[in-house]
Amino acid sequence: MKSTRRHFLKLGGLGGAAASAFPLTNLFAQPSLASTKPVVISTWNFGKEANVEAWKVLSANGRALDAVEKGVQVPEGDPKETSVGLGGLPDRDGRVTLDACIMDEFANCGAVACLEHIVHPIAVARKVMEKTPHVMLVGDGALQFALANGFKKEKLLTPESEKAWKEWLKEAKYKPVANIENHDTIGMIALDQKQNLSGACTTSGMAYKLHGRVGDSPIIGAGLFVDNEIGAATSTGVGEEVIRIVGSHLVVELMRQGNTPQQACEIAVKRVVKNQPEKSKQIQVGFLALNKNGEYGAYALQKGFTYAIQSPEIPNQIFESKSYY
Ligand code: ASP
C-alpha cells in the first residue's frame, strides 16, 4: 500500500501496518549528523518517494540542484497526490493553479505562480532561472513561456479532484484543515557531495483558494531559501502566515546567527505564534532546515508534520517533527 499521510493519520501511527512504515522509535528521534553528505530532506510522507529520485542524483555525485528538481517531480506527476501538480485540488472556480520555485548554490533562482496546465511547474521554474533575466513568471505569462519552451499543455484536474471540488461547492466554506490533504507542498532541500546546497518547492496551494491566490511556496525567501555559505530551508502549511514572517529566509538567517537548524525552525514557528496567537492553534505551518554540515531540523505548529530524510547514515525514512502545540 502506498503510504500516504492520510493513511498514517487514519491508523493513528500506532497500528501494525503503520508501525512497519513508521517505526515508533523514529517518531521525534533525530539522529545527529555531523558533517555528513550527501543529504536530502523533504516535506510530508510523499517526500520518501521523492527522495528516492533525488538520491539517485546525489549518490552519483550529481548536483543538488538536479537532485531536488528530479525529486519533487515525483509527487508533481502523481495524480493521486491532491496537493501538488497533476491531480491537485483546484481553486474555487475549478482551476488547478500551480506554484513552484527553485534555488541553487549561486543564489540563482526561478519561480512560477498561478501556472495552469503544466504537470511539472518546477521544471518551468528552473527554465525561468536559467533562460530569462527574471526570477518569477505568473499566470498566462508563465504558461506562454512554458509552451514556448516545449512543455505540453495538459488537463490537470482529475475526475477525483473535480468530484471533491463539486462536493466542496455545496457548502463553499474556505477553511484549511491542519494536516488534512486540502493543502500540502513538497519542499525539498539537499546537500550534495561537493557540499553545495539547493532547494525546490512545489504545490497546488490551498484547495478552493480564490483564483489568483499565491501562497508562500513560489516566493523565494518564504517557501524556500538557500544560502550556500550557511544552509537552506523550506516550508509547508498556510502560506499567508509563512509570507508574513518571510519564513525560509528567517530560518537561514537564524542559522547564520549561530542557531542550529532545529533551533532556527523552532524560533520561526514561534514567530508565527506571536503574530497570530489564536489562529496559530487552528492551522499548520512547518519548516525544514539543513545546514552546510548536513545537520538538519524540523518543527511545526501542530503534531502530524512528517518529513523524509536520507543520508549515508540514514536510509530513506519518514519521521514526525516536534511541534509547538
Ligand atoms: N504552503 C502552501 C500554500 O500556502 C500549502 C501547504 O504547504 O500546505 O500554498
Exactly one of 43, 82, 97, 185 is catalytic; name it. Answer: 185
pLDDT (tens digit per residue) in 206-238: 999 999 999 999 999 999 999 999 999 999 999
Q: How far is the CA of 20 from the centre of ligand 1 (A)?
A: 29
pLDDT value at position 35?
Answer: 74
Backbone phi and psi for residue 114, each to the nearest 5 degrees, phi listed first: 55, 40
E strands present in the chain: 39-43, 98-103, 109-115, 136-138, 185-191, 197-203, 224-227, 231-237, 285-291, 296-300, 306-310, 317-320, 322-323
Average pLDDT of the segment spanning 173-199: 84
> Measured from the CA of 238, which atom of ligand 1 is nearest?
4
Does 33-323 carry CATH code 3.40.50.40?
Answer: no
CA–CA distances in Å: residue 146 to residues 30, 66, 157, 272, 315: 40, 19, 18, 35, 36
For ligand 1, whether the C-beta of 69 sits within 6 Å is no
Sign of CA dihedral 158, 208, 201, 186: negative
136-138 vs 109-115, strand pairing mode: parallel
CA of 286 to the centre of ligand 1 (A): 10
How confident is the prediction for the chain on average, in pLDDT?
89
R_g over Cα of the chain: 18
- The reported pTM is 0.89
Q: How do residues 273-301 score in pLDDT, each as one tens digit?
A: 999 999 999 999 999 999 999 999 999 99
The full set of domain ranges for the chain reads 33-323
Q: Taking residues 307-325, what's their average pLDDT?
A: 97
Q: What's the pLDDT score for residue 184?
A: 87
Q: Residue 33 pLDDT more than 50?
A: no
Q: Is the pLDDT of residue 266 over 60?
A: yes
